[in-house]
Amino acid sequence: MTPHATSTPQDATSGLAKYIDHTLLRPEASEADILRLCKEAAEHHFKSVCVNPVWVRTANRALLGTGVLTCAVVGFPLGANNTDVKVFEARGATMDGADEVDMVINIAAARALDRDSLVSDISAVAEVVHGEESILKVIIETSLLSDAEKVLACQAAVEAGADFVKTSTGFNGGGATAADVALMRQTVGPDIGVKASGGVRTLEKAQEMIAAGATRIGTSSGIAIVTGAAGTSGY
């Protein structure tokens, strides 16, 4: 259910926490930072924490019994790894306890309109992720693609068996826009998730993304969003 932007702040953020992947992907993040992230996610009942693969075991242990999922990124942030490297990363992440995997596509293939390469890359990761009964989200990096390329990438993700398409890594410029989320939702239809990430720092921005069709929000400003404050980091 989409949160309402009326009445009290508590009403405005009711249910919003379950949209949020509480995210920390900075390369310098420490174990203490990850444990703090997990504690915050449990306190605010966020959907997941999203971390680099090296921290999956730490996060998974810290989140046991909280109901918060562990999400890992794969091929991050460039998507320029060979497919077998992404598969290896995804297998390791799920074996370490990742409930969800966010993979970056081969962006060059999308810009070349090479649908077959995209499907092959995504489906190989999907096979591993789904084999462990985990969820696959596919990052298409909207800021680097034309609308036609965004549509092609989303279509390839659906064909390859992805559970979600996702706007951005937050590392390559730009971020989520309502227009991109709406285009992605229109392309994938009602049964595939759409994750808006990159630059979502406020309650109003999160609500805008959800109104456009997002079913998940990736952000490092989750606490600010659910408390109605302004976040200071895009991802």
Measuring CA to CA, which residue among 197, 171, 71 is closest to residue 205? 197
- Taking 3-state DSSP, the helix, strand and coil percentages for the chain, each rounded to the nearest 5, stand at 50, 15, 35
Please say if 33 is a catalytic residue.
no
SS3 state of residue 59 = helix
C-alpha closest to that of 20 among 228, 230, 221: 221
Could you tell me which residues come within 8 angstroms of residue 124 by beta carbon, excluding any fewer than 6 positions away? 83, 84, 86, 87
Handedness of CA 176, 182, 187, 192 (dihedral sign): positive
> Hey, which bits of 47-96 come out as E strands?
48-51, 69-74
The answer to whether residue 102 is catalytic is: yes
166 catalytic residue (yes or no): yes
Strand ranges (E), the chain: 20-24, 48-51, 69-74, 100-104, 135-139, 164-166, 193-197, 216-219
Reported residue count of the chain is 235
Helix H or strand E segment including 103:
strand 100-104
Type of residue at 141: E
Catalytic residue among 21, 96, 99, 102: 102
Annotated catalytic residue: which of 47, 86, 195, 205?
195
Beta pairing partners, 217: 20, 196
Closest by alpha carbon to 141, among 114, 177, 115? 177
Catalytic residue among 121, 166, 180, 205: 166
Q: Catalytic amino acids?
A: 102, 166, 195
